[in-house]
């Protein structure tokens, strides 16, 4: 199958052409980060306007780069949630228009399923699988007994991991999104502050990052007040070590409770070098579990991952029609209910 896929849930306008669920013929990503930086985060109205301006060019570029025509396509796939409603609507509307004009089936894709299926672009997913999805808006452990089934066994009770990175990054004077730079600073420092590892030892698979964020901000503000200068690399390293410890410990515990063939690391924060290294070493204790790291270039939002998930849904004939609407709070359950 040839699938034209759309992703506009946040601040990336992206259109891709994916062949048979794992071959990227094109993956055009137009980022708007520059426009949001001076506000320190994504401004929904600004995001929507950029998506409108970019979407047609992205479609044309994706088709041209893949060297395919509308007539070659078998389906259209689109992210319809979760995300910013005004941003999602641009992709949903564009995808509906293309599907209707060219008589193509329309596949509705959950953005987080897309992040997970980013792993499919490298190798087939083996089930049962566990996914650690860490992104700007989500931190979840998702158990997948089989294809197209998603059970959230743990999630953040407050901030997402990426959100915490972005917020403490602001205190360090780093532009939004701060994750990548905090990551590289962390590699130049050491964990000297020993920030709290919230919920690390409880029975759940849930996470909490707001206490860590507050501890970090209080430490920096207190130092400011007494005119003490703290080493920013050590601050970054201490923050990152606390995040990685909790993510890794909970994931290890999840793998003990749910033996799986594959552990998938997905989402924007999956680009984190420290986290990738840590999971690569932890997985050695699980000889029957392979680690699938979504490639760095596909960790952030992109339409290729939506096309990969779209191909899987195509095989289940999960199609929608012109009544499809954006669903900003879309949850995973709909997928699990669809098939058994």
Which residues are documented as binding site? 111, 115, 133-137, 166, 179, 183, 272, 301
| CA pair distance 20, 1, nearest whole angstrom | 5
159 lies in the site for Mg ion, by CB under 5 A: no
| CA pair distance 322, 307, nearest whole angstrom | 19
For residues 123 to 142, the per-residue mask of contacts with ligand ATP, x marking binding by CB under 6 A and - elsewhere, is: ------------xxxx----
Smallest CA-to-CA distance from 165 within 152, 149, 181 is with 181
Which member of 301, 308, 311, 335 binds Mg ion (CB under 5 A)? Answer: 301
DSSP 61-108: HHHHHHT--GGG--EEEEEEESS-HHHHHHHHHHHHHHHHHTT--EEE
- Return the percent helix, strand and coil in the chain, to nearest 5: 45, 20, 35
> Taking the mean position of all CA atoms in its chain, how far away is CA 182?
18
10 lies in the site for Mg ion, by CB under 5 A: yes
140 lies in the site for Mg ion, by CB under 5 A: no
179 lies in the site for ligand ATP, by CB under 6 A: yes
Beta-strand ranges (E) seen in the chain are 2-7, 12-19, 23-31, 75-81, 106-110, 129-134, 139-144, 151-155, 262-266, 290-293
Q: Which stretch binds ligand ATP (CB under 6 A): 13-21, 262-270, 279-287, 308-316?
A: 262-270
Is-contact 292 123, C-beta < 8 A? yes
Provide the minimum distance between the beta carbon of 324 and ligand ATP in the complex, in angstroms, as a whole number: 19
Find which of ligand ATP, Fe ion, Mg ion, none residue 50 binds, CB within 5 to 8 Å per kind.
Answer: none
State the residues that interact with Fe ion by CB under 5 A.
135, 301
Q: Which stretch binds Mg ion (CB under 5 A): 208-216, 232-240, 294-302, 310-318?
A: 294-302
Provide the minimum distance between the beta carbon of 298 and Fe ion in the complex, in angstroms, as a whole number: 11
Find which of Fe ion, Mg ion, ligand ATP, none residue 91 binds, CB within 5 to 8 Å per kind.
Answer: none
180 lies in the site for ligand ATP, by CB under 6 A: yes
Smallest CA-to-CA distance from 276 within 239, 248, 250, 297 is with 248
DSSP 17-63: EEETTTEEEEEEEEE-HHHHHTTTS--HHHHHHHHHHHHHHHHHHHH
Provide the minimum distance between the beta carbon of 286 and ligand ATP in the complex, in angstroms, as a whole number: 24
Choose between 142 and 199: whose C-beta lies nearer to Fe ion. Answer: 142
Which member of 16, 25, 185, 269 binds ligand ATP (CB under 6 A)? Answer: 269
Provide the minimum distance between the beta carbon of 133 and Fe ion in the complex, in angstroms, as a whole number: 9
165 lies in the site for ligand ATP, by CB under 6 A: yes
CA distances for 337 relative to 79, 82, 114, 252, angstroms: 18, 17, 17, 27
| CA pair distance 321, 215, nearest whole angstrom | 48
Choose between 75 and 92: whose C-beta lies nearer to Mg ion. Answer: 92
| CA pair distance 244, 210, nearest whole angstrom | 15
Which member of 272, 289, 318, 320 binds ligand ATP (CB under 6 A)? Answer: 272
Q: Which residues pair with 106 in a beta bridge?
A: 76, 320
Within residues 192-251, the interface with ligand ATP by CB under 6 A covers none
Find which of Fe ion, ligand ATP, Mg ion, none residue 110 binds, CB within 5 to 8 Å per kind.
Answer: none
Residues at the contact surface with ligand ATP, assessed by CB under 6 A: 9-10, 83, 111, 115, 135-138, 162, 165-166, 177-180, 183, 267-269, 271-272, 300-301
Residues at the contact surface with Mg ion, assessed by CB under 5 A: 10-11, 301
């Amino acid at each position: 199958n040839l699938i034209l896929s759309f992703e506009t849930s946040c601040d990336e306008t992206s259109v891709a052409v994916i062949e048979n669920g794992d071959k990227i013929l094109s993956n055009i990503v137009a980022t708007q980060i520059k426009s949001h930086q001076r506000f320190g985060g994504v401004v929904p109205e600004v995001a929507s306007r950029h998506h409108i301006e970019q979407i047609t060019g992205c479609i044309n570029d994706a088709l041209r780069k893949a060297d395919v025509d509308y007539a070659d396509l078998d389906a259209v796939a689109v992210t319809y949630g979760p995300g910013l409603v005004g941003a999602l609507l641009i992709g949903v509307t564009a995808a509906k228009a293309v599907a209707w004009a060219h008589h193509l089936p329309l596949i509705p894709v959950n953005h987080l399923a897309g992040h997970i299926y980013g792993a499919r672009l490298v190798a087939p997913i083996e089930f049962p699988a566990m996914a650690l999805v860490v992104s700007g808006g989500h931190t979840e452990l998702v158990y997948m007994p089989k294809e197209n089934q998603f059970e959230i066994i743990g999630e953040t009770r407050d901030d997402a991991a990426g959100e915490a990175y972005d917020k403490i990054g602001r205190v360090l004077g780093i532009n939004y999104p701060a994750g990548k730079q905090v990551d590289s600073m962390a590699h130049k420092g050491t964990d000297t502050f020993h920030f709290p590892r919230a919920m690390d030892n409880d029975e759940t698979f849930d996470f909490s990052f707001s206490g860590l964020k507050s501890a970090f901000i209080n430490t920096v503000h207190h130092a400011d007040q007494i005119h003490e200068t703290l080493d920013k690399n050590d601050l970054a390293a201490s923050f990152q070590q606390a995040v990685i410890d909790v993510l890794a410990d909970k994931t290890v515990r999840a793998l003990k409770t749910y033996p799986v063939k594959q552990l998938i690391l997905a989402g924007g924060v999956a680009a984190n070098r420290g986290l990738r290294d840590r999971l690569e070493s932890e997985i050695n204790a699980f000889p029957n579990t392979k680690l699938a790291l979504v490639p760095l270039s596909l960790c952030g939002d992109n339409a290729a991952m939506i096309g990969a998930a779209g191909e899987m849904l195509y095989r289940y004939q999960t199609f929608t029609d012109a009544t499809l609407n954006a669903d900003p709070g879309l949850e995973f359950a709909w997928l699990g209910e669809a098939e058994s």
